[in-house]
């Protein structure tokens, strides 16, 4: 069913309501990535809202925009309601899970970004952590910590290192292991590792 009557509106952000039965849970990392995208690129696609102002697609975008302090957001309205609206929301969330990365293309694109001056903190803010960057064989990228300081609040300092590929893989594997065990950020995993070393030496 082709819809030729889609119209983008910009509305006050509090005039639309997040879906109270949204089946998708947005993790802290997921929201940081969405906020990183919104902060850098702006809103490049509207969220989908029903005629009674309930968000059916784009709940994470709405929440990230709210956390960034936005006062308005772009939407398109759908006439779907009841079971059709629920099914659409589920399909919108489910469909992306069945796509895959083309390893040659993503590696080339990430390397191109690095060559254009995109540093590790920026790559992190758009969703690629240390291990993922290493897995895609990105060349000459600094050891990354967390997303941009502007997304994390005041008082943070960004650090970066240049490492050989073997050392990079060793460090990122170790930090990922600590991060998964301690349920912490990449930067906090580095602090955990250093504290362990100092404790052993004392």
Q: What is the mean pLDDT of each run of 10 residues along the chain (202 residues)?
A: 78 94 85 91 95 94 95 95 91 84 86 80 78 68 47 53 71 82 78 82 70
Q: Which domains does the chain show, CATH number per domain? A: 8-98 (3.90.1530.10), 103-201 (no CATH)
Strand partners, 42: none
User: By the 8 A CB rule, do 120 and 91 touch?
Assistant: no
CB 101: neighbour CB atoms within 10 A? Answer: 10
- What pLDDT, on a 0 to 100 scale, did the predictor assign at position 181? 83
Q: How far is CA 58 from CA 16, 17, 19, 89, 155, in A?
A: 11, 11, 10, 9, 31
The three-state DSSP-derived secondary structure of the chain is: CCCCCCCEEEEEHHHCECCCCCCCCCCHHHHHHHHHHHHHHCCCCCEEEECCCEEEECHHHHHHHHHCCCCEEEEEEECCCCHHHHHHHHHHHHHHHHCCCCHHHHHHHHHHHHHCCCCHHHHHHCCCCHHHHHHCCCCCCCCCCCCCHHHHCCCCCCCCCCCCHHHHHHHHHHHHHHHHHHCCCHHHHHHHHHHHHHHHHC
- What pLDDT, on a 0 to 100 scale, did the predictor assign at position 87? 92
User: By the 8 A CB rule, do 161 and 142 touch?
Assistant: yes
CB 164: neighbour CB atoms within 10 A? Answer: 8
User: By the 8 A CB rule, do 24 and 60 touch?
Assistant: yes
The residue written with tokens 């895609």 in the block is: 136
- What pLDDT, on a 0 to 100 scale, did the predictor assign at position 64? 95
- What pLDDT, on a 0 to 100 scale, did the predictor assign at position 12? 97
């Amino acid at each position: 069913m082709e819809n030729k009557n889609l119209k983008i509106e910009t509305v006050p952000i509090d005039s639309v309501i997040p879906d109270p039965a949204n089946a998708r849970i947005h993790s802290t990392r997921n929201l940081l990535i969405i906020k990183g995208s919104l902060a850098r690129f702006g809103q490049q696609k509207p969220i989908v809202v029903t005629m009674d102002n309930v968000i059916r697609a784009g709940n994470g975008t709405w929440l990230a925009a709210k956390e960034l302090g936005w006062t308005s957001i772009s939407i398109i309205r759908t006439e779907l309601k009841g079971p059709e609206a629920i099914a659409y929301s589920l399909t919108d969330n489910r469909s992306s899970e069945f796509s895959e990365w083309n390893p040659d293309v993503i590696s080339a694109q990430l390397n191109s970004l690095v060559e254009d001056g995109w540093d590790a903190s920026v790559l992190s803010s758009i969703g690629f952590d240390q291990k993922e960057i290493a897995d895609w064989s990105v060349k000459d990228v600094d050891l990354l910590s967390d997303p941009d300081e502007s997304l994390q609040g005041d008082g943070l300092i960004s650090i970066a290192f240049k490492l050989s590929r073997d050392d990079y893989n060793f460090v990122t594997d170790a930090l990922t292991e600590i991060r998964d065990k301690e349920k912490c950020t990449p930067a906090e995993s580095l602090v955990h590792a250093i504290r362990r070393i100092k404790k052993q030496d004392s």
